Each structure stands twice: as structure tokens, then as C-alpha cells.
Amino acid sequence: MRRRVFLASGAACLLKAQDWRHTAAFERLYNLDFDRAIVLLEQDSVREPAEPEHHNNLAYSILCRTLFHADALDGSVALSVAAYLHRPKVLMESGERARFNAVLSNAEQLARLRLSKDPNRADALYSLGVSQSHRANLALLVDKEWRVALKTGGEARTFHTQALAKDKNLVDAMLVPSFHEYIVGSLPIYLKALGFLVGFTGDKAKGINGLRTVARYGMRTKLEAQVLLALVEHREEHPDKAVEIMRSLEQEFPTNHLYRREVATLLVAAKKKEEARKEFALLEDSRYRFLKPARLEAYKREFEAILKA
């Protein structure tokens, strides 16, 4: 099947989205086996070179691998950007950066080609938004260029809002606008005014509801929405809800130690310290083959500090 697009009420939409969540590349990526995921995604892009989604997925995997090796693949960064920006910049090899940019450029060119033939293609607008989201993440998480990240992230939101206007059933396109609604809606009133100046004031409740919708009904971004929703529930002082979400991910991806570590941290917030200790102790299980001993020791020190706080 060479032409698979996100079209409302179309069987192709459901099939394509389900295909991603049931591919070996998806399983490898979220089980932290980035090297193998990248190989599989490269094969996808060769097999279907005109499909922008494959190129976006490949770029995302390259970025995630860089962040993981730098111990910066932490979802909580999304809600504590100020603290993250004070950490050293993440080193990204020039070859990897060039590859990342080239792959994203391919995705963008393919999406724009689709739009030139049909301006109403929601899937093409969505793809452009995904590409801009990846560029924003590179700017923020690797280069610590928050101004560039804000601009590019705003462009991603615009593309996804336009996609939703074309296809209201494109649930995945709700993720970026919803998260922005929550973040801006959570700002102090004087900072919200700045958001208003650029045409975006934010609505915290609307943002949370949007994240819940994507976490429940999303296809391509369901997992990302679940992680963000767990972080938001924690921030909103609902740690038990956050634990429930992260436990489901922990079980779905058995070699992803980041999810188990997050569960242990959330259990401390839920005032379940003994359960948290037992959960954390499981990080020493051999299944977590991507957790290096030195990093585990660093996690232990951080966890003990959280317990004593």
C-alpha cells in the first residue's frame, strides 16, 4: 500500500495509524533500542520514499538516541524547562545533526509537494507540524536555544491547528496545541499577557482535556500524550493518576527503565515510599540492558535525595 494518509472517516487513516503502533520499529524505539529502530525506519523510508511520516519517524529516533546517550531523555523536562536550560548543552555529532536535518528536509519537501497538489490535505499539514516539532525539540533540548524553540514550536502548533480545521477527526494533531494550551494557561497573568500579544493566551483546562483525548484516542502520538498527561497529573497534584498511566507504559515496554524510574518517583509523591523503594529496586533487573551501571548509580543518588526531601 503506497499511499496511506490520515483522512477523516477513511479506513486508510485507521490502518496507517495502527500500523505504526504495531511495527517492530515502534517497539524497538520505545524499548530504548534506538540503533535497531533507526535501521528499521531507514528500511521504511527506502521502501516508501514518498511517505513523509517515515522520514519524520527516522529523524525523531535520531534525536531520541542523542538525548538518551546524554541522559536527557526525560519527559519531565517539558514541565521544567528553566532548570533544564541551565544544564550543559547536549553534544550532537556533526554527522548526526546533518543526518537529522537532511531527513527532516525530505519529510518537509514531500509534505509540501502533497499540499501543492491538494491544499486541503490534512495529513500533509500534520506532517509539516511534526517536522517543526522535531526542529523545536532539537533547538530546546540539544542547543538550549529557547527563542528558536518557541518560534518553531509555534509554527508546529499553527500547522496542526490548520490540519484539525481540515480534519477534526485527526486526533493526533491535537497534541501540540493542547500541550501549548496547558503550558501557557499555567503561566502567571503577566506572562499570559505576552502570550496574548502573539495571539495565544492559553487555557489550562482545555489543554488537559486535549491531552486526555489524545492519550485515549490518539494513534501516532498516543504514547507521547500519555507521558505528558502523567507529568501534568503529577504537577496538578494527582500522583495516583500519573502512576496509573506510567505503570501501563512500564508494562507495555518491558526494557524501558525510564518508565519504571518515573513510577518510583511518582510513588514518592503519592506518599508511598516503601512501594517506591521496591519499584526502584527492580531497576537492577537484567531486562534493563540499556541502563548502564554508572547511570544507575546516579539514579540511586537522585532517588535517595527525593526520599529525604
Listed by start position, the domains of the chain span 1-169
| C-beta of residue 205 within 8 angstroms of C-beta of residue 185 | yes
DSSP assigned state of 11: H
Q: Considering only CA atoms, which of 298, 219, 212, 226 is closest in space to residue 259?
A: 226
Rounded Cα distance between 286 and 283, Å, is: 8
Structure confidence at residue 6 (pLDDT): 28
Q: With cut-offs at 50, 70 and 90, classify the pLDDT of residue 193.
A: low
Question: Is the pLDDT at 11 greater than 80, yes or no?
Answer: no
Structure confidence at residue 202 (pLDDT): 82
pTM recorded for the entire structure: 0.89
Structure confidence at residue 8 (pLDDT): 31
C-alpha dihedral (128, 132, 134, 137), degrees to nearest 10: -160
Question: Is the pLDDT at 13 greater than 60, yes or no?
Answer: no
Q: Which three cell numbers stand for residue 144?
A: 538550549
Question: Is the pLDDT at 224 greater than 70, yes or no?
Answer: yes
Average per-residue pLDDT in the chain? 88
Q: Which three cell numbers stand for residue 235?
A: 504537577
Q: Which three cell numbers stand for residue 249?
A: 507504559
Q: What is the average per-residue pLDDT within 104-125?
A: 97
Question: Is the pLDDT at 17 greater than 50, yes or no?
Answer: no
Rounded Cα distance between 47 and 42, Å, is: 9
| C-beta of residue 138 within 8 angstroms of C-beta of residue 96 | no
38-86: per-residue pLDDT in tens? 999 999 999 999 999 999 999 999 999 999 999 888 766 665 666 777 7
Structure confidence at residue 31 (pLDDT): 97
Beta-carbon-side half-sphere exposure of residue 34 (alpha carbons within 13 Å):
15
Structure confidence at residue 9 (pLDDT): 30
CA distances from 209 to 3, 175, 176, 198 (A): 32, 10, 13, 23
Q: What is the average per-residue pLDDT within 6-14?
A: 32
Question: Quick one: angle between helices 122-137 and 94-117, nearest 10?
Answer: 160
| C-beta of residue 266 within 8 angstroms of C-beta of residue 249 | no
257-285: per-residue pLDDT in tens? 999 999 999 999 999 999 999 999 999 99
Is residue 199 left, alpha or beta, with left meaning phi > 0 and alpha meaning psi from -120 to 50? left
Q: Considering only CA atoms, which of 99, 126, 74, 90 is closest in space to residue 302?
A: 74
Length of the chain measured in residues: 309
Question: Is the pLDDT at 231 greater than 70, yes or no?
Answer: yes
Report the top-level CATH class of 1-169. mainly alpha
Structure confidence at residue 84 (pLDDT): 72
Q: What is the average per-residue pLDDT within 107-117?
A: 98
Structure confidence at residue 12 (pLDDT): 36
Structure confidence at residue 20 (pLDDT): 77
Question: Quick one: angle between helices 175-185 and 189-197, nearest 10?
Answer: 130
Structure confidence at residue 75 (pLDDT): 62
Q: With cut-offs at 50, 70 and 90, classify the pLDDT of residue 177.
A: very high
124-167: per-residue pLDDT in tens? 999 999 999 999 999 999 999 988 998 999 999 999 999 999 99
Question: Is the pLDDT at 189 greater than 70, yes or no?
Answer: no
One-letter amino acid of 234: H
